[in-house]
Amino acid sequence: MEYNIAVLGGDGIGPEVTAQARRVLEAVGAAYDHRFTFREGLVGGIAIDTEGTALPDATMELCRASDAVLFGAVGGPKWDDPTAEVRPEQGLLALRKGLGLFANLRPVKLEPALIEASTIKADVLRGTDMFVLRELTGGIYFGERGRRDEGRTAFDTMIYTVPEIERVVRMACELARGRRKHVTSVDKANVLETSRLWRETATRVAREYPDVQVEHLLVDACAMHLIRRPASFDVIVTENMFGDILTDEASMLAGSMGMLPSASLAEGSMGLYEPIHGSAPDIAGQGIANPIGAILSAALLLRHSLKLEAEAQAVEQAVQNMLAEGYRTRDIAEPSAETVSTDVMGTLIAERLRA
């Protein structure tokens, strides 16, 4: 089979880790007789410097013509001014809107070999295996905003519609059906009207899935329980801003943000796949970034956009094997342990797949 993959490396360590994910996909192609055609596009800060916009039209067209998007990271000190008219993160937000990517899926599964890498006690972490599903195209990030009273008052508007809530809750229930059949819907219904609509809609949608248990949890309680009893969660579904915060909290259960992948999914097969970490400009170009989050994002690409389940599992198994054999990048290594570079980690995983 032939597949077209758009590669948007972006800024900082983004190009370094996406290069390793691409290497692993090429190994998958060799092992399973698939052909992947990779085409690169500009996004983020580098696109601002080159084209004057965070998402050039050519990049958007490239993504729409592809089967999936492999994404790195955007941003850096050069573009850090929050008052700037054009900012790197606008490229990612525009991609989400333009491609209809309404749900961000983040698996958080603790690798047994890394149980000591987390700052949380091992007996609390053991058994942690969850998905966090974050609604991506609604909420406060996309509502009306502005200043008034000569700039002394600022406002951001959180808006949600029933269809936006329905589709992401349905996705969560479908996902839970293939797992432990438990969904935790997170809101702030004791305070926010949008959260009351969220809870009402989630409750109604849950009736369509009598085999799935759906519970409701306030966002502050969820933040606490993620640290107290992470293994109790199966699938968490929540709105945009709450999901943005909770997913970063949940990522630290695994010991490093460099370990975790994500998938931003549309209603069809289109998806954008990226590691959850940022551009990490402080380590860019040093060859020490952890590529595993990007490589596992490539596994999600295989699973969700290309429907290649066996190939996705092979990538995930290759990563587990490397960790079990003791290979570590700097972020997940013990202080005195020997580490491997970004390139070496990607090469080792690709070699296992080719073998």
Same domain, 209 and 333: no
Same domain, 141 and 250: yes
Q: Beta strands 145-148 and 153-156: pairing type?
A: antiparallel
Last residue of some domain: 228, 254, 280?
A: 254
Spatial separation of the C-alpha atoms in residues 331 and 342, rounded to whole Å: 11
Q: Is residue 164 part of a domain?
A: yes
**What's the number of domains the chain is made of?**
2
- Residue 49, pLDDT score: 96
Q: Which domain holds residue 231?
A: 118-254
Cβ proximity of 67 and 6 under 8 Å: no
Last residue of some domain: 197, 228, 254?
A: 254
Q: What is the pLDDT along the chain (355 residues), one digit of tens a residue?
A: 899 999 999 999 999 999 999 999 999 999 999 999 999 999 999 999 999 999 999 999 999 999 999 999 999 999 988 888 999 999 998 999 899 999 999 999 888 888 877 788 888 999 999 999 999 999 998 899 999 999 999 999 999 999 999 999 999 999 999 999 999 999 999 999 999 999 999 999 999 999 999 999 999 999 999 999 999 999 999 999 999 999 889 888 887 788 899 999 998 899 999 999 999 999 999 999 999 999 999 999 999 999 999 999 999 999 999 998 999 999 888 877 789 999 999 999 999 998 7
Beta bridge partners of 133: 105, 237
- Among the options 188, 209, 234, 327, which is catalytic? 188
Q: Is residue 213 part of a domain?
A: yes
Q: Is residue 111 part of a domain?
A: no
Spatial separation of the C-alpha atoms in residues 173 and 19, rounded to whole Å: 34
Spatial separation of the C-alpha atoms in residues 6 and 22, rounded to whole Å: 10
What residues have CB less than 8 Å from 14, skipping those under 6 apart? 8, 44, 71, 72, 73, 74, 279
- Among the options 32, 109, 244, 343, which is catalytic? 244
Of the candidates 130, 127, 88, the residue with the CA atom closest to the CA atom of residue 108: 130
Active site residue 11: no
- Among the options 141, 149, 273, 282, which is catalytic? 141
Same domain, 30 and 135: no
Active site residue 129: no
Q: Is residue 109 part of a domain?
A: no
DSSP states along 222-248? HHHHHHH-GGG-SEEEE-HHHHHHHHH
Q: Is residue 222 part of a domain?
A: yes
- Among the options 97, 109, 129, 248, which is catalytic? 248
Amino acid (1-letter code) at residue 48:
I
Same domain, 128 and 213: yes
Of the candidates 231, 263, 219, 295, the residue with the CA atom closest to the CA atom of residue 103: 263
Give the tokens for residue 304. Answer: 């969700």
Q: Is residue 110 part of a domain?
A: no
- Residue 135, pLDDT score: 97
Spatial separation of the C-alpha atoms in residues 306 and 326, rounded to whole Å: 31
Same domain, 132 and 246: yes
Spatial separation of the C-alpha atoms in residues 5 and 308, rounded to whole Å: 14
Same domain, 91 and 147: no
pTM for the complete prediction? 0.92
Q: What is the Cα 318 distance to its own chain's centre? A: 20
Same domain, 126 and 225: yes
Last residue of some domain: 254, 283, 306?
A: 254
Spatial separation of the C-alpha atoms in residues 351 and 240, rounded to whole Å: 38
The secondary element (H helix, E strand) that includes residue 67 is: none
Q: Is residue 224 part of a domain?
A: yes
CA distances from 303 to 18, 96, 131 (A): 17, 20, 15
What is the chain's alpha carbon radius of gyration, rounded to the nearest angstrom?
A: 20
Q: Is residue 113 part of a domain?
A: no
Active site residue 141: yes
- Among the options 49, 220, 282, 307, which is catalytic? 220
- Residue 82, pLDDT score: 82
Q: Look up the CATH number of the domain holding residue 201.
A: 3.40.718.10
